[in-house]
Amino acid sequence: MAAISSDELQDAWEKVKAMTILPEPPEPKLPTFGPKVPMKSKLHSIQSLITSLEYNYTGTLYFDVNKNRSFKSIVNTAKEILKEGLPIQCLEAVFLGAYLTAGLTNLERFPISFKTTAGRSTHRHIVLGIHHQQQKWGALGLSRCEKLMNKDLKFESLSDLVLDYCHEFENVYHTVLKVNVGFPFTHDIHSSERVEWRVLNLPVNTNNWTEVAKQLDGFGKDAAEIESFKKAKGVFPAWFGTRYALNAPEVELGRSPRAAQRRNSFSDDFNTFEEELQTQEPAPAQTPRTIPKHIIVTPDEFTFKKPSAKTTPAPPTNIFLQNTSPSPYLIEIEDRSGLLEIVTKTQPTLQTEERDKTNPEAHPAKATFRISASGMIAVAIKYNPHRSVTTKLTSPEKSPVKKGVNGKPSPVEPAAVNEPPHVVSFRCMPEKLLDAVPDGESFTLETPFVFKDI
């Protein structure tokens, strides 16, 4: 194509401005498929439509590229893209691909995004991973680089597909830092549920690829189960952190103002994401996170009845634990004074069974109870004279002596003995974190108690 001069360009521009009616840009025609059209042909037609819109090099975004919204809202943006027929970038291409494949119920469609570096520049790219009938993998997408766009349905696994993209990034002198995979897109274009774009976040450059590939392929199989569990319970399964140990959600702190505006955008333009290190703002001071205490213990002070005769059994006192959260909790109750016995029995565990075998006379000073979501339990605790006697036997039976000035022994004033605090502690742990409860998620409550002689 011959180059045009600036005068010719100016003349053409003046003619356009002089026109009173401009023709509407042609709307892309949606592909239609018969029942016997192969899946590869369907995906090829959809990719051809996406490619026909061309890549947007202008630096101006024509459509809403906010990712944190419902699939229904994303579908509306995709329809707007088709109506306007303007150039798009990789994220809008994923919007469009997810919408155009919504009717193909034998496909799973995953958002797959990449974070890369080239020199001092940081880049992000995203494609729509396609999984056909639990067999081959491929992708739809758009990029300035042809090799980073779509991929045919020919890959045996998700890791093979991702590795192919990583190799293509290397060919354009990019280093892949991280790969993110989200939950599969729903096929319901009217769904109001928010799309989960980054569920599995795997650092690539700092981990062995064999381990990364294993977790990618595992997530490709487990994603539907994990998503169903999260929708039902509001949290990830307890085994998620163990099975996907490499998962490292990205926390972006201290980014420049330009980077903050780009947090939800994608582009593979080599110069768009250049970080201005000289203008970076310092990271904001981290304020301590307040752990909500969803467990209520009543009463505020316990009163335990203490019989005057040791042969008289002490009546128990009921304490009440209420869970105000939508998740179950495990409560570990412990008497730190050595004077109480937890009467209410818990479900036997290996530890309690072993203790009962070795010391059948022992009385529990620590026990763990489960409270269901928004539930309440009562636990009976009483004064135990046998435990107090045992505690006293550990003290010296005779007062220490020392020699006086005349050589005769003289009693030493007994030192003040640190009496154990009259406190019952309650360590509260969300049941979903039973395997490994971080200190920042559990909390401990303490309630004082007194004795009343009877």
Q: What is the DSSP letter of 147?
A: G
Pairing status of strand 443-453 against strand 302-306: parallel
DSSP secondary structure letters along 188-250:
-TT--SBP---SEEEESTTS-HHHHHHHHHHHHHHHHHHHHHHHHHSS--TTHHHHTTT----
User: Three-class SS of residue 45?
Assistant: helix
SS3 273: coil
Q: Which residues pair with 202 in a beta bridge?
A: 179
283 in Cβ contact with 254 (< 8 Å): yes
Residue 90's contacts (CB-CB under 8 Å, 6 or more residues apart) are 125, 126, 127, 141, 142, 143, 266, 267, 268
Chain-centroid distance, C-alpha 320:
33
User: CA angle, corner 137, sides to 200 and 234, nearest 5?
Assistant: 30
Determine contact, residues 153/133, Cβ cutoff 8 Å.
no
Residue 335: strand pairing partners = 424
Cis peptide before 28, with omega less than 30 degrees from 0? no
Rounded Cα–Cα distance for residues 165 and 268 (Å):
13
Task: Classify 395 as helix, strand or coil.
Answer: coil
Which active-site residues does the annotation give? 90, 125, 143
Contacts of 172 (CB under 8 A, 6+ apart): 118, 145, 148
Q: For residue 446, list its beta bridge partners.
A: 425
C-beta separation of 283 from 301 below 8 A = no
Kind of pairing between the strands at 137-140 and 151-155: antiparallel
What is the DSSP code string of 398-415? Answer: S--EEE-TTS-EEEPPPP
Angstrom distance (rounded) from CA 67 to CA 57: 21
